[in-house]
Amino acid sequence: MKINMPVKYMGLYTVICLAAIAAYVGFGHHLSLLLEDIVMARSAPGGQLLLWMAVFFVLYTSISLLYTTVSQRIANRRIETLGRKIISKIDDQTFKESESMMNAVFVHLEKYRPFEKVFIPVVVQTMVKITVIAAAMFFINEIAALILIITAPFVPVYYILVGLRTQDEAKAQASQFDALGTLFLNLIRGRNTVKYTQSEPTVTSRLENANKNYVKETMGILKYAFQSTLMLEFITILGIGLIALEVGLEIIIFESISFYSAFFTLFLAPEFYNALKVLGIEFHNGKLARGSLEVIDKWLEKETIETDYRAYDLADEAVKLSNVTLGYKDINLIENADFTVPSAGFTAVTGPSGIGKTTLLKMILGLHPPGAGRVHIRTDDIGYISDHIYFSDTTIYDYVSDGEADEAHVMQILAELDMMNSIDNLKAGIHTPIVNHNIPLSGGEIVRLKMARVLVKKPDIILMDEPTEYLDAKTEQLVMDHLKHLKRRAAIIAVVHRRQLLKIADFHYTVKDRQIIPRIGGERG
């Protein structure tokens, strides 16, 4: 099984394990001498012997604890690094795959954690332990050493055969888990649709089938786990029994071995087989974890949005697109288009739904790279107004001010947008918390709240996606009055559906036939 652990960590693990098993062998040596004095010589144990036995026992215990601490810290650090890699893949396209992303971060990453925290340390510890014990056994009891070497391969051969099947089962289980989670989340999102279309029987059937598949894969894994544990116990007991039989024959029948050698052999042999048994059990768990890692790797292989495709080299214009092609995967919404926005003024973009207008704004904002062409902008000081903007856990005041305005100024702007009546009705007023994207305002009020943030920050470029869609005539006029003022100093690019906004447009473009076509603008205000 591929471990993917840096050599420096493997070396550190090996050194610590060598120290631990050396202390264990030293403890066994002095314990065997002590018991030989008591049993065979019928003499009281010497103080120096007791002291050394205690020293080696404390050393073994302390080094083992050190090994656990060090390996867990290294594992946690590597898991954190892997988690950051997963998070770095989150971009504007991720919301379409939110379920697989969340599973990669919170489920499969945690399922992989035991591989780093337990399996790798156990592999190193076992390899060092069985090597040192087998070598030491040749100096104590050669026949017992040969029995160890002959019987030891049965354990890894068996758990390798079982583990290979387990990994396939684990990948199937991970896929079933993702499918079940995605189905459940989508059904929760569409619960109203399910309710009003009387689709409960169909939905219930789909959930039951997904759950049965997941349970089936899980039970298959548990079956192999039980079988492997049972066989490992059998092989371990058989190996220790053979060693005990050999020692018994040597000490009783042939009288060819000392009490010291017999006890020391029986002291080391169980530890040898126990190490193999633990590795066998962890090999099964390691295969499960590797199945989760493969799911994570598939997520990491996804293309990441390019974040530096825009060039900041304009002086006289706000935005300039040169021969740009834009779309999703193999579908082009815009092809080989040019588009220039002056440093100030209101530029309206119209066209049918789904033709690429919002994607055009996202490209300018830096969230959607073009398939071809160049995007030039004057500055990244951009404000964006859209009904898809996420509200992080904050308050109304903190969101609007963004640390750049006091309460009086924020309340003044909110009053100008005719929002204070609604906000005053909230228990905490402008300090009302926004948690989990839940804000106690209507759609039109949310649009005005985002407009208030723009009015506070006064960015050089303002992108707006259907900014007056949820507004009544009176509120729309309020917003338009502010836009007339803003466009004197900022470049406003707005995707509009309502004709009213075209009256204040200085420039008007239509997205049609995969092109951005200029049209005659409306009033200049």
Q: Point out the least confidently predicted range of 234-248, 274-288, 400-414.
A: 274-288
What pLDDT score was predicted for residue 165?
A: 57
Helix, strand, or coil here: 441?
Answer: coil
CB 21 within 8 A of CB 245: no
Tens of pLDDT, residues 438-468:
677 777 778 788 888 888 888 899 998 876 6
Segment 332-356 shows an average pLDDT of 90
Q: Are strands 310-311 and 372-377 parallel, antiparallel or unpaired?
A: parallel
Q: How far apart are CA 233 and CA 274, in angstroms?
A: 9
Total-model pTM: 0.55
Q: 492-516 burial, b for 16+ CB within 10 Å, e for fewer?
A: bbbbbeeeebbebbbbbbbbeebeb
Return the structure tokens found at 421: 């009546």
Segment 89-98 shows an average pLDDT of 54
| 176 vs 464 pLDDT, higher one | 464
pLDDT score of 171 more than 60: no
What pLDDT score was predicted for residue 74?
A: 94
CA 419 to each of CA 9, 416, 481: distance values in angstroms, whole numbers, following the listed order: 59, 8, 15
Q: How far apart are CA 285 and CA 119, in angstroms?
A: 8
Long-range contacts of 138-145 (CB under 8 A, 24+ apart): 140/261, 140/264, 140/265, 140/268, 141/246, 141/247, 141/250, 141/257, 141/261, 141/262, 141/264, 141/265, 143/246, 143/250, 144/243, 144/246, 144/247, 144/265, 144/269
Q: How far apart are CA 346 and CA 483, in angstroms?
A: 8
Tens of pLDDT, residues 142-164:
898 898 888 887 776 666 665 55
CA 60 to each of CA 67, 73, 274, 364: distance values in angstroms, whole numbers, following the listed order: 10, 20, 17, 63
How many angstroms from the chain centroid is the CA of residue 335?
35
What pLDDT score was predicted for residue 453?
A: 87
Domains in the chain, start-ordered, CATH in brackets?
Answer: 7-300 (1.20.1560.10), 310-519 (3.40.50.300)
What pLDDT score was predicted for residue 525?
A: 38
Q: Point out the least confidently predicted range of 383-387, 424-428, 461-465.
A: 383-387
What rounded mean pLDDT belongs to the chain?
A: 80
- Where residue 169 falls (left for φ over 0; alpha for ψ -120 to 50; beta otherwise) is alpha
Tens of pLDDT, residues 484-525:
888 888 999 998 877 777 888 899 999 988 999 988 644 433
